[in-house]
């Protein structure tokens, strides 16, 4: 027989009250997080992954930490590639609050839910977590709708993305761990660049790119040379281009300009060691890798079988 018409599974007013109670409880028992949306500059349409991405905004929002007993996941693992930290945390955020504080502003177009690949900054532990999965069906349709999102997050592994969120701890990750680019500029440069500002680079071909300024370095040569270190390059056409001598550099208000006079050759063995990693042995790996396979063999997998 059909359902009793005198009873319902909840009205809109009841769900609104239920949702308000959830939001109030999160604001009491939760923690203030920073939601950092990911902006994809170039996507690999075959593997469906981002090749170039950046994080240039952050939005404060309250979330409830469901992992009350500590971090979950695989924890710390010692592998052949070194120590890997795979801590996970489950966060709960209100749908309504997420749309009010993030969804309307964090993306070029309104989106229906948080996206995998976005970041969450956890001020309590100063941790940066990446959203791996968004659970949008639990609790299953209480009073007819689902009032929250559950975000399964894992410790973020930095891969030279552009970080300009306005949060000092987050933005410092790029300066401390990004390999970036280093080159010499002409002695006739004007003005001075400021740490953290965005520079515009125009190649001789006319292609433009942007990067964050890190620092100057004046050599002990006679006469001294000025080297500039910048973060990862983001080209406006979405393609990758090599830096060239003669590339023009300006800052945002065009009060400082410079011309690249020398670009380092990354194949030079004495410049292959990463300047930000004292334990890097990439030069040695590069040399030994050439001896790993005998390239003189016509068939390194063995000669084909021949019938007698």
The residue whose two tokens read 């109670």 is 21
> Max alpha carbon distance in the chain (Å)?
95
Is residue 269 scored above 50 in pLDDT?
Answer: no
CA–CA gap between residue 87 and residue 82 (Å, rounded): 16
CA–CA gap between residue 302 and residue 225 (Å, rounded): 54
Give the tens place of pLDDT for each residue, 126-180: 888 999 999 888 777 776 677 889 999 998 888 778 788 888 888 888 777 776 7
User: Looking at residue 240, what is its pLDDT?
Assistant: 75
Q: Is 120 helix (H, G, I), strand (E, B) or coil?
A: strand
**179-282 placed in CATH 2.40.30:** yes
Which tokens belong to 70? 């500590």
User: Looking at residue 131, what is its pLDDT?
Assistant: 92
Q: Residues with Cβ < 8 Å from 262, sequence gap 6 or more?
A: 183, 184, 225, 245
Torsion 161-166-169-172 (CA) sign? positive
CA neighbours closer than 13 Å in the CB half-sphere of residue 193: 26
User: Looking at residue 267, what is its pLDDT?
Assistant: 42
**Rounded to two decimals, what is the model's pTM?**
0.65
Which tokens belong to 162? 């552009």
Q: Is 10 left (phi over 0), alpha (psi -120 to 50) or beta?
A: left
Q: Is 152 helix (H, G, I), strand (E, B) or coil?
A: strand
Region 181-192: what's the mean pLDDT?
82
How would residue 294 be classed by pLDDT, with cut points 50, 70 and 90? low
User: Looking at residue 272, what is its pLDDT?
Assistant: 46
Q: Residues with Cβ < 8 Å from 2, sequence gap 6 or more?
A: none
How would residue 292 be classed by pLDDT, with cut points 50, 70 and 90? low
CA–CA gap between residue 269 and residue 290 (Å, rounded): 14
- Domain boundaries of the chain, sorted by first residue: 12-169, 179-282
CA–CA gap between residue 56 and residue 212 (Å, rounded): 12
Give the tens place of pLDDT for each residue, 1-45: 577 677 667 777 777 888 888 889 988 998 899 999 988 877 777
């Amino acid at each position: 027989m059909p359902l009793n018409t005198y009873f319902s599974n909840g009205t809109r007013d009841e769900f609104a009250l239920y949702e308000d109670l959830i939001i109030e409880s999160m604001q009491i028992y939760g923690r203030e997080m920073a939601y950092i949306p990911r902006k994809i500059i170039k996507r690999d349409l075959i593997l469906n992954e981002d090749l170039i991405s950046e994080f240039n905004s952050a939005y404060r929002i309250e979330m409830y930490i469901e992992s009350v007993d500590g971090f979950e996941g695989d924890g710390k693992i010692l592998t052949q590639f070194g120590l890997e930290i795979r801590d996970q945390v489950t966060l709960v955020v209100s749908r309504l609050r997420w749309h009010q504080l993030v969804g309307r502003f964090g993306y070029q177009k309104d989106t229906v839910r948080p996206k995998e690949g976005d970041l969450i900054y956890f001020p309590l532990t100063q941790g940066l977590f990446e959203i791996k999965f968004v659970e949008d069906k639990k609790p299953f349709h209480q009073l007819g709708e689902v009032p929250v999102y559950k975000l399964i997050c894992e410790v973020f592994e930095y891969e030279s993305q552009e970080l300009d969120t306005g949060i000092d701890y987050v933005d410092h990750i790029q300066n401390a761990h990004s390999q970036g680019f280093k080159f010499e500029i002409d002695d006739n440069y004007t003005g001075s660049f400021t740490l953290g500002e965005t520079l515009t680079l125009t190649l001789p071909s006319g292609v433009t790119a942007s990067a964050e300024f890190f620092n100057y370095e004046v050599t002990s040569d006679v006469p001294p040379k000025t080297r500039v270190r910048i973060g990862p390059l983001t080209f406006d056409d979405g393609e990758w281009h090599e830096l060239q001598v003669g590339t023009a550099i300006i800052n945002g208000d065009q009060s400082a300009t410079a011309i690249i006079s020398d670009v380092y050759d990354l194949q030079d063995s004495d410049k292959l060691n990463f300047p930000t990693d004292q334990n890097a042995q990439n030069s040695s790996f590069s040399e030994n890798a050439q001896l790993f396979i005998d390239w003189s063999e016509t068939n390194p997998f063995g000669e084909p079988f021949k019938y007698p």
